[in-house]
Amino acid sequence: MERLAQKRVVVAVLAGLTFLSAALVWLFYPYQYVLALHTQDKGKPSLFLPVEEGDHFQIKFTHSIHLSDVIEEYEIKNKKLIPVQLIYEDTAVGMPSNAGEGETFEVKNGKYYITGLKGEHKSINLSVGQVKAKHTILFKDRSYLLKEYVGGGTIVRIQPLYINNWELLRGVNLHE
């Protein structure tokens, strides 16, 4: 009888350890691929957009001098941001008037397009505009005005990475 009780205790302990191990893996294993927007202010939650390899997103903002829209498009590939194209309306101060080597410069419907952009980034640091810039993330037919989430003047690091459920629970999923 005593031996049966000991076996039951051992089975219960092993079952508990198995459950605890599974819960820890579920909580802390980084499986979710996201476009993360981290602020330097630790008091603010991180923002996440669930993404997949090859997804595209855009950063749209109003140019501070021309007061016209600028759109930077990126592809998410191998945990990096690959520039795809730049779309803008004025070639004056701060904007290119032609494409670089290996890039294509076109004018369509009154807008300038530079495609075939070179380079890759592990992350992008962005200072969210306070007044006119209206920095917005465009992703899957939705737009996210950053100053509504983090406030104007906040510096945001944008990067693709894998995160775990604990980080997801502590942050804000923008796509929900």
Overall average pLDDT of the 26-51 stretch: 85
User: In sequence order, what DSSP letters do the residues of 110-130 get, joined into one string?
Assistant: TEEEEES----BS-EEEE--S
Contact 86, 71 (CB under 8 A): yes
What beta strand segments (E) does the chain contain? 32-39, 47-50, 56-62, 69-77, 80-88, 104-108, 111-115, 124-127, 136-139, 142-145, 155-163, 172-173
Which is nearest to 150 in space by CA: 80, 24, 35, 47? 47
Which is nearest to 134 in space by CA: 68, 49, 82? 68
d(CA 41, CA 26): 27
Contact 36, 159 (CB under 8 A): yes
Q: Is the dihedral of CA 140, 35, 128, 150 positive or negative?
A: positive
Residues 61-98 pLDDT 10s? 998 877 899 999 999 999 999 999 999 998 877 788 88
pTM metric for this prediction:
0.86
**Residue 20: band (very low, low, confident or very high) from pLDDT cuts 50, 70, 90:** confident
Task: Tell me which of 108 and 92 has the higher pLDDT.
Answer: 108
DSSP state at residue 170: H
Residues 110-153 pLDDT 10s? 999 999 999 999 999 999 998 889 999 999 999 999 999 888 99
* Annotated domain spans of the chain: 1-30, 31-173
Token readout for 14 is 């092993």
